[in-house]
Amino acid sequence: MNAALDALYPSRCLAAHYVDSRWVGKLERGEHRWPSAERRAALRAVFGVTADRQLGLYSPRRTGATSSSLTDAAWPGVVPDEMAELPGPWTSGMQVPNRIEQPHVEALRRSITLFEDWDHRYGGGLARAAMAGQLEWACRAIRQASARPAVRRQWLSTAARLGDVVGWACFDAGEDAGTTRGYFVRSIQLATEAEDVQQRAHTVTSLSRRLTYSGKAKEALQIVGLTRSGWRDLPPLGRAVIGIVEARAYASLRDAEECRRAVGLCDEHFDASPADGAYDPTWGYYADLGQILGDAGHAMCDLALTANDPALTDATITRLHAAYELHPGTVARSRALTMIRIACLQAHQGNVAAALPSARAGCTDAAGVYSSRLRDDVRVLAHMLENVDAEPDLKDDLVAVRAQLSGVAASQV
């Protein structure tokens, strides 16, 4: 490579750009992601390529990158340099261990379990800063501490799971798209380094959900399509989750046929999942029938609220009611989201008498939850109830529920 530098720049002294075996080793490990222009030119000459991208090199100052382009880079483990530093303002600066051992991995897993429980109970609004600080520390440990190869892979895989949780919490809290995307892309990169195809696919489904929610359903389908390359490696629960995220995207695109097909795929693979699916470290959360009924039911809800299809609306209400009955109190956000959406569907039907108690139940479940997704759904319901004709004996109840909804929306941070 040094010879290539001299050949490319014969009139310049480029001793400062010369490299040695240590520099090359760092390049191979991905620690040098965007060398100087001169070194990149030499690398292109050595490898006989014409573009930096062919070498897996990306500019840290690229702008306008889409989620799909960043994910395409992270999927094979070549993340853009702009992701070398984690997004967000949270950095701990705390010391990391000199050597990572198995007890460190187990401790990190326990902290993630706590964060996941926190997220399910209270939403991402208050938890994401603590999660992001833990992830920043875990990523510094990866780069600074030594570890046996097997332990290092476990640490990378566990950190990838944490990145997925942080990205989801940021999405739920309404964090800006760039920050949220950054955590998901980092998670995919870490999972790839760990050779953890399950966690990588799981994070892609999380990112796909965020894209659909933000009106980018086509890009969401493009990204989740990456998981098809490893379809045979995915367990039935993993395939069920892919059915869920595809259903949400197709519902957003108003493609009723494909949405129903994806919901059917979800149910089919859930039914085929083994009895011990709850112990799957990546997909076990979806071993809960209530979660499957609810997640796919939300996709049907997106479709039903825009369609004049009474049968679809009734089927969706039935499915969401079944999910709600199965949701334990420890998943308060899921309970609140589900019941608020049931109320939306009932209001869509013009059934104010049913919508009002559903709305009250949803508001009760929402106490203590801080989620921008919940806030958005509450505002949708409040708007729907502003435009309904209530029977005289329901008017006082309607006014009270509107005030309650306004209070819940205002409490979300």
Check which CATH number belongs to the domain holding 253 and give it. 1.25.40
CA pair distance 235, 370, nearest whole angstrom: 32
Same-domain status, 308 and 222: yes
Residues whose CB is less than 8 angstroms from the CB of residue 71 and which lie 6 or more positions away in sequence, other chains included: 184, 185, 188, 204, 207, 223, 226
DSSP 373: H
Distance CA 412, CA 391 (A): 31
Same-domain status, 77 and 169: yes
For residue 200, the model assigns a pLDDT of: 95
- Smallest CA-to-CA distance from 175 within 135, 221, 213 is with 213
Instruction: State residue 146 phi and psi, 5-degree precision.
Output: -90, 160
**205, 316: one domain:** yes
Which of the listed residues 144, 167, 195 is the one where a domain comes to its end?
Answer: 195
Would you give per-residue pLDDT tens digits along the chain (413 residues)? Answer: 788 888 888 887 777 778 887 777 677 555 666 788 888 888 888 777 777 766 666 554 444 556 666 666 666 655 544 444 454 444 556 788 899 999 999 999 999 999 999 999 999 887 898 999 999 999 989 888 899 999 999 999 999 999 999 999 999 999 988 899 999 999 999 999 999 999 999 999 999 999 999 999 999 999 999 898 889 999 999 999 999 999 999 999 999 999 999 999 999 999 999 988 888 989 998 889 999 999 999 999 999 999 889 999 999 999 999 999 999 999 999 999 999 999 999 999 999 999 999 999 999 999 999 999 999 999 999 999 998 888 889 999 999 999 999 999 998 76
Shared domain check, 339 and 322: no
Same domain, residue pair 77 and 189: yes
Q: Which of 363, 326, 359 is nearest to 342 (CA)?
A: 359
Question: Is residue 63 situated within a structural domain?
Answer: no
In a domain, 386, yes or no: yes
Q: Is residue 302 part of a domain?
A: yes
Q: At a CB cut-off of 8 Å and minimum separation 6, what does 40 contact?
A: 34, 52, 55, 57
Predicted local confidence at residue 82, as pLDDT: 44
Radius of gyration, CA atoms only, the chain: 24
Cβ of 45: how many Cβ atoms within 10 Å?
Answer: 15
**Token pair in block for residue 284:** 């076990």
pLDDT of residue 8: 84
pLDDT at site 93: 63
Give pTM, 2 decimals: 0.79
| Residues 128 and 159 both lie in one domain | yes
Same domain for 339 and 258, yes or no, is no
Q: How far apart are CA 402 and CA 371, in angstroms?
A: 19
- 111 domain residue, yes or no: yes
Task: Assess whether 81 and 168 both reside in one domain.
Answer: yes
Domain stop point among 304, 326, 348:
326
Residue 97 counted as domain residue: yes
281 in a structural domain: yes
Residues 158-183 as b or e (16 or more Cβ within 10 Å = b): bbbbbbbbbbbbbbbbbbeeebbbbb
Whether 65 is in a domain gets the answer no
Number of compact structural domains in the chain: 4
What is the domain extent for residue 150? 71-195
From the number of C-beta atoms within 10 Å of its C-beta (0-12, 13-18, 19+), residue 223 rates as buried
108 within domain boundaries: yes
